Structure 1
Amino acid sequence: MVKRTEKRAAPFLPTSRQEMVSLGWSFLDILLVTGDAYVDHPSFGAALIGRHLESLGYRVGILPQPDWRSPEAFLAMGVPRLFVGVTSGAMDSMVNHYTSLGKPRREDHYAEGGLPKARPDRAVLVYVNRIREAMPWVPVVIGGVEASLRRVSHYDFWSNRIRKSVLLDSKATLLVYGMGERAVAEIARRLEAGEDLEGIPGTALYRGQTDFQISRYPEALWLPDHEELEAAAEKLLELAWLMEQQSQPWMQRVLLQRADSRVLILFPPARPLTGQELDRLYALPFSRKPHPRYKGEIPAFTMVRDSVTVVRGCAGGCSFCSIALHQGRVLQSRSKESVLEEIKRLAREKAFSGTISDLGGPSANMYGLGCTSRFKKGKCLRPSCLFPEICAHLSASQEAYTELLTCARGLPGVKHLFVSSGIRHDLALREPEFLELLVRHHVSGHLKVAPEHASSPVLARMRKPSWSLYRAFQDRFRAAAKRAGKELYLVPYLMAGFPGCSMKDMDVLERRLRESGLKPRQVQLFLPTPMTMATAMYWSGMDPSCGEAIYVPRTHRQRKGQLDKLLYWRTARARGTPGSPTRDDDLS
């Protein structure tokens, strides 16, 4: 390994040859290509992986949003010694570009000035193709959300067909799925040592069927073949169920999938980072700023500039959500000391306003939670720790998060500390004291929760708690706000167009909204993202719990009709006006 000679890490990882020269570098060990602007903040994946590799002694450069039309653009910093890493960025590029109704989005929050089209459609495929043209002999490793959720054959909403693994389509060397810190470190180590890349946890590769040796994987599990998935839509339900099960770190079987003349080989998931490892990762020397090359605002950075991530993973297992398939269902929390130290560093910044915008993660009040059963923890097949009821083995106490909020609120320089990433209301209901604390000190005006629907059959397919639980939470929240003498509001996330949701179900939701006095402004139209169970329901038209046919709103008219039910209060004149919450850009 080439060790750094600098006593201090660079303020930013280099993005150009000139910046490399200023660091005294004549070459890179690793080049990371990303579809996002480069913000040196731990909420941005390329920065997180780049700083992690830098801490291991590698010379890492970042090529943000390169001109994908030109192979030469990918040679701006020369040919890296070990490998090129490729990610589309924080979002799947197709989700980034198009709304649930298929219309182009007007903004890209991960680009300078919010300007769209800073990355291509299917960015991973395009980037790998250009890199292969520019440096065909260099190993290419793909990762991030787009690669992770397309690691096996999957339904693609935008082309309305089953597509092969993005690894096969791109012909990259290796695919990293999930949170990639362990995998990329091992990839770099092996390439440095001249070792084979076979068998690294959290990765996938492929072999031609003539080169594939089944004897090397005696305990492997065969997934439905790509051709089977194309021929029978219900096979996608089987695949989705297997991927939910096998994506947990205690499931240690190799997965195999045939596609044309090749075999995709998925090695078992990487172990989640321990609390200490997570602490070390977030203690790396991030500047927490956009690279100086940018003069305009990067909207995604503005949203997270003064936020602190405290937990990874999600135990919810909602059927439409991809978080558990990427970050995992195992909750990983940072120590209180690590979080407080990051806030202290943030408070010392000249630009700090005194307000921490969020202490959170996928669901903020999952901080400090985890499975208490050694037996269940190693064998559990439940897709959700919270549905149909909160698992008895889940330590669901909000005590650790309450203590963290209280300690952080009292730090010098911190005037306000809010929870803006949203909470699980079913967990919060179990501890009235937590809700009182939240309302009194940590709600800026609006608190995000996600009941999603009110119809019981739809909620069951979503794996969400009952509407009555939401109503109970709403009543307690309003009462707590009144006791605190504050004017606070809930922001309930609600969804239309879900598989199995009919207009009768939307009528139920509309009635419940009227009864609750709710006029939702932030609404979602179901978007079938790769690899989720809900997407398998959408494609197959079947309920996975019983195998029966279900109604699926597919046409623009059907989907838009359901959306209008959510916005019952809106006048015809308000539709489409500037700033209206019903513009296509607001539908995710």
Structure 2
Amino acid sequence: MSNRKPLSLPLWNEQYAAPFAPTTFQEMKDRGWDCVDVVFVTGDAYVDHPSFAMAILHRVLEKAGFRVAILSQPDWKTVEPWRQFGKPRLFFAVSAGNMDSLINHYTANKKVRNDDAYSPGGKIGLRPDRATLPYSQRCREAYPGVPVIAGGVEASLRRLAHYDYWSDTVRRSILMDAKADIVAYGMGEANIIEIARRLQAGQTVKDLRDLRGVAYALGGRESQEQFGPESQPTAFETQTPTVVIPSHEEVKADKAKFVEATRLIHQNTNPFNAARLVQFHDKQAVVVNPPAFPLSEPEMDEIFDLPYTRRAHPSYKEPVPAHEMIKDSVTIMRGCFGGCTFCSITAHQGRIIQSRSPESIVKEVRKMSADPDFKGVISDVGGATANMYQMRCTRPDVEAKCKRLSCVHPTVCKLLGTDHGPVIDLMKKVREEDGIRKVFVSSGIRMDLAQLSPEYVRELAEHHVGGRLKVAPEHTSPDVLALMKKPSIDNFGLFAKQFKEASTAAGKPKQFLVPYFIASHPGSGLPEMIDLAVYLKRNGYRPDQVQDFIPAPFDIATCMWYTGVDPMTGKPVPIAKGMRDRKSQRALMQFFKPANYFEVRDALIEAGRADLIGNGCDALIPAQPPKEAIEARRRQANGAVQGDHYHTVANPAKGEPAGERGAESVKSKGYRPNRKSAKRRPGKKKGDGADQQR
């Protein structure tokens, strides 16, 4: 620590923050280092804030005495960035970033997104598709023999054979395609420290295979020796039961096997009773050890008490949008026991809630208030679900055996501790701190839990809502909600009434809810979306944005979407897969937009609901298209015949090549087999015997 240089944080007491990790060779030299222990490769911009994985993992490694360099958004087209720090003494740590790279790049309709919230200025193109693969490959190329440890959301959710929406195929475990030795799945603080200490002590990558929360691939011979017909159980196997799930070849060829594998995977996610999973890929076995145990409150405090600067790296000339959104937020817990089938939070963070102590949270708030750039407004005090703070099963002996995927669906478990007292006390403490003007809860709440505590709803409405509160009823159809593991839409109605009464009592009658709904989720067809549209109209909701279902790897809902079967019940599920169906569902959710008029009209007629066209109370659209709808259709028609669809005639007088503009870019590839160009081969003339023999 003697080599630390003063931070460029004017007027801010430097006891609160430590320097950024080196991001260049020169920065490494400025720290007085001749090498680093770990090079952390990430697809995100480097932001030293505890909402960013690279910041947390850097800080925990740093506290443990290891030297870490951050290789942020490197140019993957060359190996040189991977060599700039020299050979790392222990290992490369690879992550695609806080988001799956494909979800980061593409919309539900597989169109390229216009921005990347995790890049400076929101610029796109600074990370590759499936970033874990090329990043790991470059690590191997740069320094063969240095261990490569992959982690993060992208690698975690692809640790076994999975359906890939973007290629519409069942892909192998990421371990079979990436050049990584191990995937550390889930939240990785405890594992990355253990890995670093073991490798420093002289152990090899193979010695890490007994760790919880890791997945690894075996060679063909090892696979047969350990899991073949004549294999003998090891000491580790006798302590941890092993379940062999259908192989990659089976789940790719047979959707029933994919359903079976999904069910087995999700039945083994509780760290207290999960089996070790084995899935063969041809002759090789991919082994997934049980998840890591949840962190204790002191362990959570230790992570979040580290000296983060809470800033983006000073080399960036433009702000990082994701950082701008969360820079003044405070994470109070992680994990979610909701078990929503379309959400990856439970799969990544775990079902068991892990909370920080009030003292640790208040300490972070005081650090924030000491920063001269802080304006006194905390944008969020929450986590995956803000009002799950310090909630957990009241019977640890039952929790250790429980296989239930949701503690709140179909009903709230009677053993779940649902006391909102701790989170109410916490919110009071935070808002009473000196230098704090306002504290918001913007990360969303679980309505069925909030209803159990009128006091919590009153506190929320009076002190912690900035005019609107985000909630997620998701749908109105009972069948779709059951597939999602979400409560009835009546639950949303009751909470809306409760929140309105609390807001009025607090003298804030204009506060309102912002409900989020999903289009094209498994089980949702035109009739279900039409019912949702009618519900929205009756209740005066006009969604600004539409959340389209994206089949993310690993999720239960993704299995439904791919196979048409609910893996937990075995019952068939109707699916809207076609882009036309998905577009219709999106339009129905925003039926009030003139640009969607014709799409909504066609959907209503197709579904036999022409009664919703006209001037009735429930009518979604008028009988005659508004002028704006006609104009929008005209613009769409004009756009369809522009660009590559036609070419204007060139003007040779202006030096343009004769013919059609743009046509010169289309080059002939030749018509003969194996001919790479349109040029004739030397010595060959038309009519030659050689040509005739072809």
TM-score (norm 1): 0.95
Matched, 1:413 2:424: no
Does residue 59 of structure 1 match 2:67? Answer: yes
User: 1:176·1:203 contact (CA, 8 Å) conserved in 2?
Assistant: yes
1:186 matched to 2:194:
yes
Q: 2:527 aligns with which of 485, 488, 504?
A: 504
Identity rate of aligned residues, in percent? 45
Match of 1:202 in 2: 213
In structure 1, the residue matched to 2:550 is 527
Alignment of 1:231-310 (within 5 A): 231-310=253-332
**Secondary structure, in 3 states, of the residue corresponding to 2:210?**
coil
1:580 corresponds in structure 2 to: none
Consecutive unaligned residues in structure 2, runs of 5 or more: 5-14, 596-627, 634-694
Q: Which amino acid aligns with 2:208?
A: L
1:377 aligned to which of 399, 419, 440:
399
Q: Distance in 1 between matches of 2:474 and 2:264?
A: 25
| 2:572 partner letter | A
Cα distance change, pair 312–576 in 1 and its aligned pair in 2 (3 A): farther
Measure the CA separation in 2 of the matches of 1:344 and 1:253: 43
Q: Secondary structure at the match of 1:234?
A: helix
User: Does 2:116 match 1:108?
Assistant: yes
* C-alpha contact (below 8 Å) 1:312/1:361 kept by paired residues: yes
Give the corresponding residue for 2:378: 356
Contact 1:245–1:251 (CA under 8 A) maintained in structure 2: no
Structure number with bigger Rg: 2
Cα deviation, residue 545, structure 1: 4.6
Structure 1 pair 479–571 and aligned structure 2 pair: CA distance change class (3 A): farther
2:122–2:320 CA contact under 8 A, matched in 1: yes
Kept in 1, the 8 Å contact 2:183–2:216? The answer is yes
Structure 1 runs, 4 residues or longer, greater than 3 Å off: 4-10, 573-577
2:466 pairs with 1:444 = yes
SS in 2 for 1:63: strand
Q: Secondary structure at the match of 1:437?
A: helix
Give the whole-Å Cα distance in 2 for the aligned partners of 1:517 and 1:433.
27
1:148 paired to 2:148? no
2:336 equivalent in structure 1? 314
> Residue 246 of structure 1 aligns to a residue in which SS?
coil
Q: How does 1:378-527 map to 2 (within 5 A)?
A: 378-486=400-508, 487-527=510-550
- Number of the residue aligned with 1:27: 35
- Counterpart of 1:37 in structure 2 is 45
* Residue 556, structure 1, aligned to residue 579, structure 2: yes
- SS of the residue corresponding to residue 451 of structure 1 reads strand
CA shift, 1:275, in A, is: 0.5
The one of 241, 246, 263 aligned to 1:224: 246
- 1:201–1:543 CA distance, 2 compared to 1 (3 A): closer
Gap change, CA 1:5 and 1:238, over 3 Å in 2: farther
Q: Where does residue 102 of structure 2 map in the other structure?
A: 94
| 2:285 aligned counterpart, secondary structure | strand
- Asked whether the 8 Å contact 1:494–1:522 carries over to 2, the reply is no
Matched residues in 1 for 2:396 and 2:574: separation?
A: 41
Contact 1:237/1:533, CA 8 A, preserved across alignment: no
CA contact (8 A) 1:251 1:269 kept: no
Mapped partners of 1:337, 1:210: distance in 2: 53
CA offset digits 1:403-432 (Å, max 9, x no partner): 000110000000000001010111111111
Match of 1:120, as an amino acid? P
1:324 is matched with 346
Where structure 1 has 5 or more consecutive residues not aligned to the other structure, the ranges are 578-588
Cα distance in 1 between the residues matched to 2:335 and 2:572? 32
Which shifted more, 446-455 or 562-571? 562-571
User: How far did residue 186 of structure 1 move?
Assistant: 1.1
Deviations 1:375-418 (A, max 9, x none): 22101011001100011111011111000001100000000000
Cα separation, 1, equivalents of 2:536 and 2:256: 34
C-alpha distance in structure 1 between counterparts of 2:566 and 2:329, whole Å: 39
State how far apart, in whole Å, the 1-side matches of 2:30 and 2:313 are.
15
CA distance in 2, matches of 1:336, 1:346: 15
After TM superposition, give the deviation of residue 5 of structure 1 in Å. Answer: 5.3
Question: Partners in 1 of 2:469 and 2:260 — Cα distance?
Answer: 37
Give distance in 1, aligned partners of 2:82 and 2:538.
Answer: 57
C-alpha distance in structure 2 between counterparts of 1:468 and 1:400, whole Å: 27
Residue from 584, 589, 596 that aligns with 1:566: 589
Instruction: Please say which of residues 127-136 and 553-562 is displaced more in the overlay.
Output: 127-136
- Aligned counterpart, 1:582: none
CA apart distance, 1:135: 1.1
1:153–1:162: 8 Å Cα contact kept in structure 2? yes
Give the TM-score taking structure 2 as reference length.
0.81
- Structure 1 residue 10: deviation in Å? 4.3
AA of the residue aligned to 1:350: P
**Conservation of the 8 A alpha-carbon contact between 2:140 and 2:179:** no
Gap change, CA 1:545 and 1:203, over 3 Å in 2: closer
Is residue 18–residue 309 contact of structure 2 (8 Å, CA) maintained in 1?
no
Matched, 1:17 2:20: no
Q: 1:43 to 1:576 in 2, by over 3 A?
A: farther
Deviation at 1:242, TM superposition (A): 1.9
Amino acid at match of 2:532: L
In structure 1, what is the Cα distance between the partners aligned to 2:176 and 2:79? 21
Higher relative contact order (CA 8 A, sep 6+): 1
Question: What RMSD in Å do the two structures reach over aligned CA positions?
Answer: 1.5
Question: Where does residue 367 of structure 1 map in the other structure?
Answer: 389
Instruction: Give how far 1:77 is off.
Output: 1.3
Distance across 2 between alignment mates of 1:533 and 1:565: 25
Q: Which residue, 112, 134, 141 being the options, matches 1:126?
A: 134
Shift of 1:245: 2.1
CA distance in 1, matches of 2:568, 2:309: 48
The structural deviation recorded for 1:243 is: 2.0
> Given the superposition, is the C-alpha separation of residues 155 and 576 from structure 1 closer, same or farther in structure 2, using an over 3 Å criterion?
farther
> 1:75 is aligned with what amino acid?
R
- Cα deviation, 1:167-193, whole Å, max 9, x if unaligned, reads 111031111000001111111111111
Q: Distance in 2 between matches of 1:373 and 1:185?
A: 31
SS at 1:188 equivalent = helix
Q: Does 1:76 align with 2:84?
A: yes
One-letter identity of the residue aligned with 2:566: D
**C-alpha displacement of 1:571:** 1.8
- Report SS of the residue matched to 1:107: coil
Please tell me whether the aligned partners of residues 365 and 398 of structure 1 are also in contact (alpha carbons under 8 angstroms). Answer: yes
Residue 261 of structure 1, CA deviation:
2.3
Q: 1:425 touches 1:473 (CA, 8 Å); kept in 2?
A: yes
Q: Secondary structure at the match of 1:370?
A: coil
Pairwise CA distance, 1:522:
2.9
